Structure formats: C-alpha cells, structure tokens
Structure 1
Amino acid sequence: MATRKLLHKPKRNKIRAKLIAHRGGAGEELENTITAFTRASQKDVHMLELDCYLTRDNHVVVSHDAHLLALTGQDVYIHDVDYKDLPCLKPVLEVEFAKGQTCCGNSNDRNIPLLRDVFERCPRVPMNLDVGTDNDVLIDKVIEMVVEFKREDITILGNTDENMTRKLHAKAPELLLFFSEQSFYRLLKVFYLGVIPFVSFKESFLEIPLGSVLKDAGMENWIFTTFPRLYDAVVLNPLLVFHLHRRGIKVFMWVLNTEEQWEQCFACGADAVMTDYPSKLRDYAKEKKL
C-alpha cells in the first residue's frame, strides 16, 4: 500500500495493550472490585477498564453505574450518598455483555472501592478510565490523582460526552484521551469525505464496539443494530484502521466475550480487545500467538 507523508505528527505513547479486563473482568469476579482488579492484573492482562463517580462527600469511587439499584439492590445514586454509607454489591451480578451469564466472584469482596485504592493496589497497570459525569470536582480530582500517582503515560481518560472530553483536554492537555461519541462520528465523516489527512485529533485511542455487541445490547442507532455487518464494514474499514495506525491512534474493541468476536477484531487490525473474561482471552491469545 502506498504511503504519503503525514501532515500531522504521529502520536506517541507507552501503552502496548492487547488484553483489557472490562470492569476488572466482570465475568470472573464481581465487577469493579479491588479483588477483580488485582486478580486481573495477575493474569497477564495489559490494561484495566473502569468508570468512576463522585460521592456526596466528594470521594472518587469506581462503579459503572451512577444509580446503584442493579448493582446493590438499593435505589440510590452515588452522588446522594457519603462514601462510608455506600451499599455493598449484590453477591451475584449479571454480566451485561454476556447474555444469560452471571458472576458470583471468588471472594467476599463486595465493596465499591475508592479510585485511590485501585491506583495504590495496581500502581503500574495501565488503565482506561471513563470519567462518569460532567462534574468539575470529579474531573479535577481524577486528574490530580493521575498526576499524583505519576500515571500520565499509562492512564487513558474520556467519556462518551464530547463536552467532558474537551474539559479533560483543556485542564490537562498532556493526558491521553479516547474518542467521545461525537468525535467518533466526526472521525467517520472526515474519513469518508476524504479529508481526514488534514484534520487533527486530540484523542489517541478509538474505542468502539462490534456491530454484534450493539445489536445484542439493543443500543439506539437502529441502522447499525439492524445491520451489524454494515456497521462493522463502516467502522472497521481497513483503510481507516491503517490511517489511524499511521497517526499513532490505537483501536480498541469492546466488550467482546467470544472467540469468534476476538478473531474478527484482531483480523481487522484492532490493537486490543476489552473482555469480561480475561483468563479466556489470555489463553486464546497464547494459543494464537498474538
């Protein structure tokens, strides 16, 4: 394939992930617990994926949901509760991206952890961190902790909301970002219009689902959920992936839990896969010599 000189300097970062434990491996341990994160980091996983929110007394905690009914059985929001009063997780949780599957974990750890504790327990493990809400206190505290723990080169920040991503970039332009939903659609637009070489990006990581994941999760875009193969053809265009790689932008796929999905993603040139089953993905990667 012929190459041309890039108009923008390629991005550089230290992250070399292929295996990412989604919520610490939600199919193997209770999601987003200290146990999940520490055990995943011992399984040759290259990165942890997690989300964070702010409690009423301004503690940054790790949870995928702001509303805790599904996770704890308590009809409360994290922002309405002090950290010490947060309820424990249910002993058994559904695995969101594995239909019909549940996880009961292998320990008694059912606590919603502090982000600080996760950083302390996994000090040099790369992390992909979704900052959950557009809250300046939350954003500032997350950035402060990333800097305090000297994680600037191994922590990716972002949110699906473009306003959040812009705030993160404005407050700490040196930190690594993933594409928001709006910037992802902008990326597709400029690529298919043929002007992508002239467009700069603040983000270094494109994190997207497969069409089959969108369909199974019942997500909003009816075109892509009705025609998942069309979606895959659009977003996994080999020329797009090639251009992103030349620009130093890595492509992560989420949340994939079957060998068929893993094979499809690595075959199209994706750099990494997020999964709820990191042990299985690790064994698959070893078998395929990835």
Structure 2
Amino acid sequence: MWNLEIHSLEYNVWLELPPYLCRLDVTFQKECHCEGEDKRIPLLKEVFEAFPHTPVNIDIKVNNDMLIKKVSQLVSQYQREHLTVWGNVSHEIVDKCHKENAHIPILFCLRRVLLLLGLFYTGLLPFFPIPEDFLEIPMPSIILKLKEPEKVSRSQRFTIWFTDMLLMRKALFDHLNARGIQVYIWVLNEEHEYKRAFDLGATGVMTDYPTKLKNFLHNYPA
C-alpha cells in the first residue's frame, strides 16, 4: 500500500512547487539516505493512472472542504473505493471525509485511538461499533533509534516504553482483525521490527524499504 500526503489540489500551487532533492534523509533510518532521478512531485490522478491496482493510503493534511471533495471525486472517477483508505489524526477531517464519501474506508484519528485503548483496557471494546476500517499507529520503540542515546532522559525512555506497552498488544490486534479491521504499524525499516509487528498480529507495516520488506515476507513463516 502506498502512503500519500495530500496538502493541496490547486494546480497553480503545484506548478510552483520545487522538485525533490536528489538526496533525501530517510527519517526513520538514522544516517541513511535515498537517491533518485525522478524529482517531480506527481499529481494524485497520475498516481492512480500509473498504479491502477495498487492500494493507496491518503493522509488529508489540510482541513479544506474543497480538497476533500476533489480527492473523493478522483477516487470515484478511477473507481478506487475498494483500493483507497483516507483520513488524518484530526477527528474533524476524518468526519468530513466519511460524510463526503462513506464508500471510502477511513482511518482511526487520534481521538478515536485513545477511545479504542480505553475501551480495550476496560473490556468494553467488543460491545462498541467501529466505523473505521484501518488502524495505523507507530511502533513507539523506534523513536529511540532516532535519537542519540545520551540525549534521551530516563523519563523519556519510560514514556516511550509505557506507550509501546499500551499500543503494541497482540490481543488488541487480534480483536480488530477478527472484526475485519486492518492494523498497520509505521515506520519500520529493520527485519526485527517487521518480525515483531507481524508476530503481534499486524496486517501490514509501512516502510521506507519495500523491497526489503518483500524479501522478509517471502521468508516469514506465517
């Protein structure tokens, strides 16, 4: 599944955007870079046309009614409702997306993730309806590898460990999977991270190295 961030659909704004840098840092892989020749930022319709059968995750970054409507129209135009999921951490944006086109699956926003955890740990989750189709959350422990060890305080380490223990729960993922809700964990770039995610019952992971993930899945026993 491709992960796209949509900020604007104004064509004149797109024309003014600078090209990608030839060399970019890989955010979730310390001291690593990626390089490529195609530096132009593609339009959403170009992505749909180039990858007609590839699932796409769309993060609506701006709370703009016209933006949401235009994205919905493109998804419908290319008949991709079954191949697209959209949303944002903002509850308001996700609500607008769902009202604009209820046929496109939606993500859990931050508020709903917190509610999900509350219901799970109180034992009430089985009794509540869930309109979302995808839970996409970070693996908190990966934050430690982005920082210099000496710069991480004891309280920060405890917070990361505690958040990781709350979110990375096999019982939670298994419950969601049983209800047809996919669980994606991001952004994982090491084989031991892939293994932990899938051992916990994740449906998929987001990675900066899709070929590396593909090779891992080829040998993963499950």
Do both share a fold (TM > 0.5)? yes
- 2:87 & 2:132 partners in 1: Cα distance? 9
Deviations 1:9-43 (A, max 9, x none): xxxxxxxxxxxxxxxxxxxxxxxxxxxxxxxxxxx
**Which of 261, 264, 270 pairs up with 2:196?**
264
- Equivalent position of 1:123 in the other structure: 52
Q: Which residue of 2 aligns with 1:133?
A: 62
Note the alpha carbon deviations across 1:182-207, whole angstroms, 9 max, x for none: 11111001111221122112211111
Moved over 3 A (4+): 214-218, 222-229
Return the offset for 1:289. Answer: 4.2
Structure 1 residue runs without a partner (length 5+) = 1-46, 60-80
Aligned residues between the structures: 216
> Which residue is 1:86 aligned to?
17
| Preserved contact between residue 87 and residue 94 of structure 2 (Cα < 8 Å) | yes
Cα drift, residue 114 of structure 1: 0.6
Matched-pair contact (CA < 8 Å) for 1:224–1:230? no
Letter in 1 for 2:63: D
- Bigger helix fraction: 2
Superposition RMSD in Å: 1.9
Q: Show structure 2 runs of 5+ residues with no match.
A: 148-153
Q: Quick check: 1:208 aligned with 2:140?
A: no
Rate the CA distance shift 1:199–1:217 in 2: closer, same or farther, 3 A.
farther
Equivalent residue, structure 2, for 1:182: 111
The CA distance in 2 between the partners of 1:224 and 1:172, in whole Å, is 40
How is 1:66-77 mapped onto 2 (pairs within 5 angstroms)?
A: none
1:258 Cα offset (Å): 0.4
- When the two structures are superposed, what TM-score results if normalisation uses the length of structure 2? 0.90
TM-aligned CA distance change 1:137 to 1:225, over 3 Å: farther
8 Å contact kept, 1:214–1:225: no
Structure 2 counterpart of 1:212, which letter? S
Match of 1:282 in 2: 214
* CA deviation profile, 1:218-265 (whole Å, cap 9, x unmatched): 7xxx97753434323211222212211121111111000001111111
Counterpart of 1:48?
2
Residue 285 of structure 1 aligns to which amino acid in structure 2?
L
- Which residue matches 2:151? none
CA distance in 2, matches of 1:225, 1:51: 30
- TM-score, normalised to structure 1, is 0.70
SS of the equivalent of 1:197 reads: helix
1:254 matched to 2:186? The reply is yes
Q: Percent identity among equivalent residues?
A: 35
Contact 1:255 1:276 in 2 (8 A): yes
| CA offset digits 1:143-194 (Å, max 9, x no partner) | 0000000000010101011110011011111210111111111100111122
Structure 2 distance, partners of 1:53, 1:247, is 32
* Cα shift readout 1:110-149 (whole Å, capped 9, x = no counterpart): 0111111111111111111111110111101100000000
